[in-house]
């Protein structure tokens, strides 16, 4: 079975509301799907991390740079093809967009492999430690037209609604500055009984992060995500040593080599690998092994559309509990509770995560072989960013 074509589909739509995190506001949503066609008629789907114009540029890397390395090659040779592509890309980017582009192709090749074997991805990886995964809900995004007091009220209402909808925990954004961010976190802490997490998207220097972090210690936050710039490894380590709240991060790290150095710097309490960015399923499994070799807990970073969510359901199902036991802490699926039609309406048979969480507090792994998802081609055509 040969690879006959590798194609990117970048989708775009307007959002019902402008939302933001500490770095920017946005009012359009994009989704970068990768489709791998084969000589046996099997079609694999993948997704690349990267919004807006980054998705458009990644699509060019997929189709103009990596596809010519792989078309005509054996479709099941995903590990060989990964290393060949990485080797040829190495001089042009060991992190960032080339690896994001490679990620979507690798995920699609695993989808093909699962279909060829007649096995869901989680069973192809080695079996499922759980059939369904607990889900935490993030929301509480920044709003461009609210002051801190109004946003604190908004965040409290939203956090209560997410917890009330059955999610195991809630995650909020910050980024207004130390004083207002503590006000937002206090509002969320007061509004829910479930664990809450705070995501700064690297808004702070280490001094401000310490100040916010001490407040989060008092509020009982479960984790403090990307408090400082990902390059500030010393800052991460200082925060981890100084705070009781767990330090989470890693969504902006790539490949086993990047993760080796990130883990060695000792600044993480929780690792958040992003399979659609760090190199795909092939590289995710190596990063997971590295994390486990250091007894570092893993909660996957999840961003994007239904293909990314489905992939992460399989990875979360096949993730071994570490160290294990009768009642091990189970991995969570990260879920964006804001409107996202590329997740909710893309598939012929939607995952309906919100409905599943409302009924059972968990999300089930898709049944079919490979990722077990079939994107609706009419939906893709209707949302294509030409």
Nearer to Mg ion, 176 or 371 (CB): 176
Nearer to Mg ion, 250 or 366 (CB): 250
Give the residue among 67, 55, 52 at the shortest CA–CA distance from 7.
Answer: 67
Mode of pairing for the β-strands spanning 25-38 and 43-48: antiparallel
Give the residue among 3, 122, 5 at the shortest CA–CA distance from 63.
Answer: 5
Check binding of 35 to Mg ion (CB under 5 A). Answer: no
Smallest distance, Mg ion to C-beta of residue 202, A? 9
Distance CA 77, CA 88 (A): 17
Bridge partners of residue 360, in order along the sequence? none
Q: Which stretch binds Mg ion (CB under 5 A): 74-82, 100-108, 198-206, 307-315?
A: 198-206
Q: Residue from 199, 232, 253, 334 that binds Mg ion (CB under 5 A)? A: 199
Nearer to Mg ion, 111 or 226 (CB): 226
Nearer to Mg ion, 106 or 199 (CB): 199
Catalytic-role residue among 32, 301, 314, 383: 301
Q: Which stretch binds Mg ion (CB under 5 A): 55-63, 66-74, 195-203, 263-271?
A: 195-203
Smallest distance, Mg ion to C-beta of residue 338, A? 14
Smallest distance, Mg ion to C-beta of residue 231, A? 16
Check binding of 181 to Mg ion (CB under 5 A). Answer: no
When CB distances to Mg ion are compared, the closest residue is 199
Active-site annotation holds for 301: yes
Smallest distance, Mg ion to C-beta of residue 175, A? 12
To the nearest 5 percent, what fractions of the chain are helix, strand and coil?
45, 20, 35
Mode of pairing for the β-strands spanning 223-225 and 246-249: parallel
Check binding of 232 to Mg ion (CB under 5 A). Answer: no
- Per-residue DSSP letter, 62: I
Q: Which stretch binds Mg ion (CB under 5 A): 78-86, 130-138, 196-204, 351-359?
A: 196-204
Residue given tokens 């060949």 in the structure block: 84
- Per-residue DSSP letter, 330: P
Distance CA 93, CA 102 (A): 11
44-62: buried (b, 16+ CB within 10 Å) or exposed (e) per residue? Answer: bbbbbbbbeebbebbbebb
Nearer to Mg ion, 203 or 210 (CB): 203
Smallest distance, Mg ion to C-beta of residue 6, A? 29
Residue given tokens 């929301």 in the structure block: 139
Instruction: Please answer whether residues 178 and 208 qualify as being in contact, where contact means their C-beta atoms are separated by less than 8 angstroms.
Output: yes
Q: Could you list the residues that contact Mg ion (CB under 5 A)? A: 199
Residues annotated as part of the active site? 301
């Amino acid at each position: 079975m040969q690879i006959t074509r590798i194609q990117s589909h970048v989708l775009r739509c307007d959002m019902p509301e402008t939302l933001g995190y500490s770095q920017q506001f946005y009012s359009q949503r994009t989704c970068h799907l990768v489709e791998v066609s084969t000589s046996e008629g099997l079609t694999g789907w993948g997704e690349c991390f990267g919004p807006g114009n980054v998705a458009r540029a990644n699509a060019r890397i997929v189709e103009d740079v990596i596809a010519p390395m792989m078309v005509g090659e054996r479709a099941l040779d995903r590990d060989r093809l990964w290393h060949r592509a990485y080797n040829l890309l190495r001089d042009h980017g060991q992190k960032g967009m080339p690896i994001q582009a490679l990620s979507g192709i690798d995920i699609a090749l695993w989808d093909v492999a699962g279909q060829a074997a007649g096995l869901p991805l989680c069973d192809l990886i080695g079996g499922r430690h759980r059939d369904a995964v607990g889900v935490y809900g993030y929301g509480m995004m920044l709003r461009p037209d609210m002051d801190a007091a109004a946003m604190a009220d908004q965040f409290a209402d939203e956090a209560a609604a997410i917890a009330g909808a059955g999610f195991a925990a809630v995650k909020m954004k910050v980024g207004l500055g130390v004083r207002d961010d503590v006000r937002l976190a206090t509002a969320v802490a007061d509004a829910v009984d479930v664990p809450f997490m705070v995501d700064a998207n690297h808004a702070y220097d280490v001094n401000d992060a310490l100040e916010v972090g001490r407040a989060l210690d008092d509020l009982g936050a479960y984790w403090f995500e990307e408090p400082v710039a990902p390059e500030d490894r010393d800052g991460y380590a200082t925060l981890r040593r100084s705070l009781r709240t767990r330090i989470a991060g890693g969504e902006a790290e790539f490949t086993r080599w990047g993760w080796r150095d990130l883990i060695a710097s000792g600044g993480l309490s929780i690792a958040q690998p992003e399979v659609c960015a760090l190199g795909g399923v092939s590289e995710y499994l190596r990063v997971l092994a590295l994390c486990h070799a250091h007894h570092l807990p893993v909660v996957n970073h999840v961003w994007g559309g239904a293909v990314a969510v489905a992939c992460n359901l399989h990875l979360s199902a096949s993730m071994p509990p570490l160290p294990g036991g009768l009642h091990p802490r189970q991995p969570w699926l990260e879920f964006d509770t804001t409107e996202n039609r590329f997740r909710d309406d893309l598939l012929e048979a939607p995952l309906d995560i919100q409905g599943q969480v409302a009924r059972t507090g968990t999300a089930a792994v898709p049944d079919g072989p490979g990722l077990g998802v079939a994107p609706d081609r009419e939906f893709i055509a209707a949302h294509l960013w030409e």
